[in-house]
Amino acid sequence: MTETHDPALRRDVRLDAVAGFLAAAVALGLIELISGALGRVSLIVSVGDLVVDYSPSFVVKTAISLFGTNDKAVLLGTIVVVCLGAGAALGPVAAKRPRVGMAALAAFAVAGTLAAARDPRILGILAAGIAAVAAFGGWQALRLLLSAATPQPAVGGATMPGVGVADRRRFLAFAGTAAAASAASVVVGGRGFGPAVDVDSQRAAIALPETQAPEEASAQGLMVEGLSPLITPNDRFYRIDTALVIPRVDVNTWSLKITGMVDNPFTLTFADLQEMATLEEAVTLACVSNEVGGNLVGNAIWLGVPLSLLLLRANVQPGATQIIGRSVDGFTVGFPTEVALDGRPAMVAIAMNGEPLPARHGFPARLVVPGLYGYVSATKWLEEIELTRLEAFDAYWIPRGWSKEAPIKTQSRIDVPRGGQAVTAGRVPIAGVAWGGLRSIDAVEVRVLPWRGEGGSDWLPARLGPKLAQSTWRQWVVEWDAVPGDYRIEVRATDGEGAVQTDVERPPAPDGATGHHAIRVVVRDA
């Protein structure tokens, strides 16, 4: 890089900003290229995980409410945009003070290394090497681009007094090369080398015992257009977790460890789990972040190894009151040991709806614990089950303000008609689903009220669909003779213990939302 000391030669700050932008792009591209070549998680993802881990709880909840399941892509995109913007701001500064540019890129490398140091998916020394190469590449790109953007006196003297010109053709050539190299690095790193593990091929090679077909189970349910099916298809099952990039675990090298306060710690391979997988159960899972009437709930048929069987083999020590589930990416859950021993079908699941777990739902193994919200129980990409005391460890979400014990609350949802929908007068089905954790559902009631004014119906009993298991949701339907008007429709459920769903409205934090789901429907003349 050549500093321009001659005050007669003024730099074009726009070119310097472009130089910084492209230098940042080159550094990010190198991170993706090297990470992809080595089959490691990107440092960008490690930085994103750090942001998630240290963001206040309300920030995470706001992101989920705004972007839903796209929150992870938005976060990663934001990190990239911030890095590119910082590069653009750095360019003009580095043009005047090259050492500042070197220091900034060194700080970039240190930040990436520190973020990755706490990520179990990448070795610290490897992260440092990737960060150093990326920073050096970014510095070289910045140096060359700023040199090309340095104004030089025109041959034979400047055409205007006190103004020099940069060789724009040379700058554009360097800029085009840097942009192309950055884009190619991202593409090759992310796709050219392919995923570190071909999970789809591994799943296809797994032979499962014959299980109940989810299609057959769904066929037992109520058939109302727009109603959630009795069994949620895998590709429609909600996904909420902290993994910015879905872990792709090699089933051939993966193992599950049972550790902690046990007399007989042991390790299982996937083949061991296959041989022991005898428990098949339909279980409804729900996310504690689910708002009243929300869709962060699903029902599936799971196949796995009874968790109680594993604990029996390990011989749990007295005083071991908490089970910790650890994921390959370091995420943790924690729930009382007694939950795994009280007779509920808690399991280490290896299959979902008749096929090996999809990667996004935890392949090769995950915990499924009926009756508990997922944030305290449903570890995906499971690699360790540790026994400890309740007071000895707080899992991932507990220090972030969520309750340590989290039984699923009784809830009901209206699927049909949709809120805000206009329907034609006549016989109209009102239908939805209701769930109550381990308590099941014994009754659902609906009432129809004028949107404004008084009057309306009493609570009307709904016809319930089948109960596949104690911890699955139930479909329900009410046939409504609708006349023209503007209405509010509410639903409430009664669980298997006789408790009626509360109408007190509370937000999801700290242990699950409450209240009645209500929608507005306009009925028009036929």
Q: Are 105 and 116 in contact (CB under 8 A)?
A: no
Q: How many CB atoms lie within 10 A of CB 79?
A: 17
Give the angle 226-231-234 at the CA atoms, nearest 5°.
Answer: 100
The C-alpha angle with vertex 75 and arms to 72 and 76, in degrees rounded to 5, equals 90
Amino acid at 398: I
Cα–Cα distance for residue pair 285/289, rounded to 1 Å:
12
Backbone dihedral angles phi then psi of residue 429, each to the nearest 5 degrees: -75, 135
CA angle (99, 103, 107) in 5-degree steps: 170
What is the per-residue pLDDT for 45? 74
84, 26 contact by CB (below 8 A): no
CA distance 244 to 69: 11
pLDDT at 212: 76
CA distance 285 to 212: 19
Strand partners, 385: 258, 325
Distance between CA 168 and CA 148 in Å, rounded? 8
The whole-number pLDDT of residue 122 equals 66
Query: How many whole angstroms separate alpha carbon 235 and alpha carbon 300?
Result: 11
User: Does the model's pTM come out above 0.85?
Assistant: no
Predicted pLDDT at 125: 76
State the amino acid at position 341 in one-letter form. L
State residue 162's pLDDT score.
37
Residue-wise pLDDT for 442-453, tens only, equals 999 999 999 987
- What does the pLDDT look like over 360-395, one tens digit per residue? 999 999 999 999 999 999 999 999 999 999 999 999
CB atoms within 10 A of CB 486: 13
Token readout for 507 is 């937000």
Tokens of 385: 């089950």
pLDDT of residue 192: 42
pLDDT value of position 161: 40
Q: Contact, 260 vs 320, CB < 8 A?
A: yes
Q: What type of residue sits at position 323?
A: I
What would the pLDDT profile of 205-235 be if each residue is shown by its tens digit?
999 988 777 888 888 999 999 999 999 999 9
Identify the CA nearest to 258 among candidates 324, 304, 171, 181.
324
Is 495 in contact with 436 (CB distance < 8 Å)?
Answer: yes
Exposure string over 206-227, b if 16+ CB within 10 A, otherwise e: beeeeebebeebbeebbebeeb
CA pair distance 458, 445, nearest whole angstrom? 9
Cα 300–306–310 angle (5° rounding)? 145
- 97 phi, psi to nearest 5 deg: -135, 85
Q: What is the pLDDT of residue 7?
A: 47
In which residue ranges of the chain is pLDDT below 70? 1-9, 39-41, 49, 52-72, 116-124, 153-167, 188-196
